[in-house]
Amino acid sequence: MVADLSLISVNLATACMESYLYGIFCILWGTSTFLLLRRGREQQAAGLSNRPIWRTPMFIAGSLIAVTVTAHWILTVFRIFDAFVNYMGGTEPIIALGDLSRLSEVIKTAFLVATVLISDAMIIYRLYIVWSYNRFIVIFPLMTWCGLIACGTGVCWQFAVYTLGEDVFETSAGRWITSDCVFTFTTNVYCSLLIAFRIWRTRVATQMYGGANIMGALAIIIESAALQSSWNLIFFVTYQVKSNIQFTTCDLWAPICGISLTLINLRVALGWAQKAHQSASSGLPRGVSAVSQARSYASNIDQGFAMRPLAVNITRVVNQEDDFGGIKKGEYSGHGSILPV
């Protein structure tokens, strides 16, 4: 039975799996950071950036989550060595691993909470960007995010006052852990659905005018959020069934959050998300709207008048700022043919 897995076996497996996921995270984070810095230098050299790339929210979040994920992994490995080498000469590793009040476990839990908070904050930020900086749309996820802060603090405190021998599934810490799961799951689902709806609606509205295909950007955002939400659900289930495997799902949550965030950063660094930001933030281009009105006007003119056609060329220059501080200049042209009155 899964519930009968020993605490020692679970922690040894956790150290191996978290190390593997941490390696994946390091590759993604290193690649995205290198590409973002290179992109920032190119934009500054061309005069297209109004602020350094390292001052943008997504870059700062990526750097912070790299610190928290790394610290969490270090403490996971440290606890294994501490249990088998240092604590009582390595003769009682199960006591060292089962004592949740040890400083290393409390700090590791704090880094996990910080990682989840950063990840949730960034999906809220993306929702804010995609919905054209609409403050009302982010009120609810900000409330759940604040709830996560309170419950995460409560979990750390309960671990700090934990007494060896208590059942972690029956203590008051369990209620804080359950609340944590509910808050972060709600935040991710809410933001993911609204981002998906906004991008889908924009695509439907612009595809008849030959708008850019932004479904790829939508896919990576939703898949990244789904990755984190799914793992949150897996941890919640393993905790509710009171299985020791919940220690594994809990510790792997940190690198999962890091991978989820860096996947989006990597896509932005490669320049795939910029079109999605432009379309979702702006809606229908004004040039397209003007051409549509001109064509509608032409269709209502009495066709009995013999008049020469007049070609109309509408050009619009757009300065587009993405969420990494870059300004993209583009020229859009619309062509129409109307009959003068």
Do 303 and 261 belong to one domain? no
Boundary residue ending a domain (282, 300, 319): 282
Quick: pLDDT tens for 282-328: 444 444 443 343 344 334 434 433 444 445 455 554 444 455 555 44
Do 240 and 298 belong to one domain? no
Do 260 and 296 belong to one domain? no
> Between residues 316 and 47, which one has the greater pLDDT?
47
Do 300 and 234 belong to one domain? no
The residue range of the domain holding 312 is: 286-338
**Which residue matches tokens 């003068």?**
340
Do 147 and 201 belong to one domain? yes
Pair of tokens at residue 52 = 């350094």
Find the mean pLDDT for residues 275-286.
46
**Which residue matches tokens 């005018």?**
209
Q: Given a cut of 80, is residue 13 above it in pLDDT?
A: yes
Quick: pLDDT tens for 85-108: 988 888 889 999 988 999 999 999
* Total number of domains in the chain: 2
Do 171 and 245 belong to one domain? yes
Give pTM, 2 decimals. 0.77
Do 218 and 147 belong to one domain? yes
Instruction: Output the pLDDT for position 214.
Output: 58
Instruction: Output the pLDDT for position 273.
Output: 44
Do 94 and 123 belong to one domain? yes
Do 278 and 184 belong to one domain? yes
Q: 340 phi and psi, to 5 degrees?
A: -70, 150
Q: Given a cut of 80, is residue 241 above it in pLDDT?
A: yes
CATH of the domain at 263: 1.20.1070
Do 144 and 114 belong to one domain? yes
Quick: pLDDT tens for 143-190: 999 999 999 999 999 999 988 878 888 888 888 999 999 999 999 999
Do 175 and 255 belong to one domain? yes
Q: Measuring CA to CA, how many Å separate 51 from each of 54, 117, 202, 300, 340? A: 8, 25, 28, 49, 47
Q: 200 phi and psi, to 5 degrees?
A: -65, -45
Boundary residue ending a domain (260, 282, 304): 282
Residue 229's closest CA among 269, 265, 192?
Answer: 192
Do 196 and 58 belong to one domain? yes
Is the CB of residue 137 less than 8 Å from the CB of residue 130? no
